[in-house]
Amino acid sequence: FGHVRGAYTGADRSRIGRFEAAHGGTIFLDEIGDVPPSLQVKLLRVLEEKEIERVGDHTPVAVDVRIITATHRNLEEWIARGLFREDLYFRINVFPIHVPPLRERPEDIPVIVRHFLAQDRQRNACGVTGISPEAARLLTAYRWPGNVRELRNAVEYALVLCPGGEIRPEHLPAKITSTSGACPPPADPPASPERERILEAMRKTGGNRTAAARLLGISRVTLWKRLKRLGLERTSER
């Protein structure tokens, strides 16, 4: 929220906060589920009154921003435990987009890896050109409890060991190459959360794949791949 000069020791000049800097635009608040209750109150005021107060100043400053939030927490469970304000939840839960964990969308892993490699080539001009089919298979079989952050770390680990060319299995962390970290086949595929979400989206859109993909927040191609993987490719031909 920023501060004014003299607000605390070391505040030798005034500084605007993130919300003021984002005035007229968009601000992204990551891991909002971990925000302490004292800050939740301030965020609620921004949403309801569209104004903030800098530290050390009681003069309200009007802000007009679009707020996008993200969290890995189940906020409804957090509310029940008294860890998250219900009124704040209803203010930010306007258009929720559920992003499935990596273990539910293994077809995205090679694409994300190629993106990370392209980023590294731009920064460091490394000689790694891609990933071998064997290494890609191991990555898609791993459970990824840390999701994309863990995948990025695994790629960076491989870049340290890979002298150039393709990333191979021996360049990957041991926990990924061992069978203990692999995703076991689902015992009951029809009951998987991903399958149920897709079926629900298809029902809501009357089987229209384009509309269902939009509702799920994914591309039509990604939806088609998941339908095929889950044995649902004949659910609709539209």
In a domain? residue 238: no
Q: Are residues 16 and 73 in the same domain?
A: yes
Is the per-residue pLDDT at 148 higher than 90? yes
Q: How far apart are the first and last CA of the chain?
A: 49
Share of the chain above pLDDT 70, in %: 91
Q: Which of 60-74, 107-121, 202-216 has the lowest mean pLDDT?
A: 202-216
Domain encompassing residue 12: 2-92
Give how far Cα 128 sits from Cα of 139, 158, 170, 182, 193, Å: 17, 10, 14, 25, 36
HSE value, Cβ hemisphere, 13 Å, CA-based, for 218: 22
Q: Are residues 63 and 84 in the same domain?
A: yes
> How far, in whole angstroms, is CA 236 from its chain's centroid?
29
Q: Are residues 87 and 106 in the same domain?
A: no
The pTM assigned to this predicted structure is 0.61
In a domain? residue 39: yes
What pLDDT shows up at residue 236? 56
Is the per-residue pLDDT at 225 higher than 70? yes
Give the pLDDT band of residue 188 (cuts 50, 70, 90). very low
Give the pLDDT confidence of 10-35 residue by residue, as tens digits. 877 888 889 999 999 999 999 999 99
Is the per-residue pLDDT at 142 higher than 90? yes
Q: Are residues 198 and 172 in the same domain?
A: no
Average pLDDT over residues 57-77: 90
Is the per-residue pLDDT at 120 higher than 90? no
What pLDDT shows up at residue 182? 58
Q: Are residues 201 and 160 in the same domain?
A: no
Q: Are residues 11 and 83 in the same domain?
A: yes
Q: Are residues 169 and 195 in the same domain?
A: no
What pLDDT shows up at residue 12? 79
In a domain? residue 156: yes
Q: Are residues 127 and 168 in the same domain?
A: yes
DSSP string, 119-160: HHHHHH---EEEE-HHHHHHHHHB--TTHHHHHHHHHHHHHH
In a domain? residue 236: no
Q: Which of 34-38, 71-75, 134-138, 234-238 has the lowest mean pLDDT?
A: 234-238
Is the per-residue pLDDT at 74 higher than 80? yes
Structural domain total, the chain? 3
* Residue 74 belongs to domain with CATH number: 3.40.50.300
140 Cβ neighbours under 8 A, 6+ residues apart: 106, 107, 109, 110
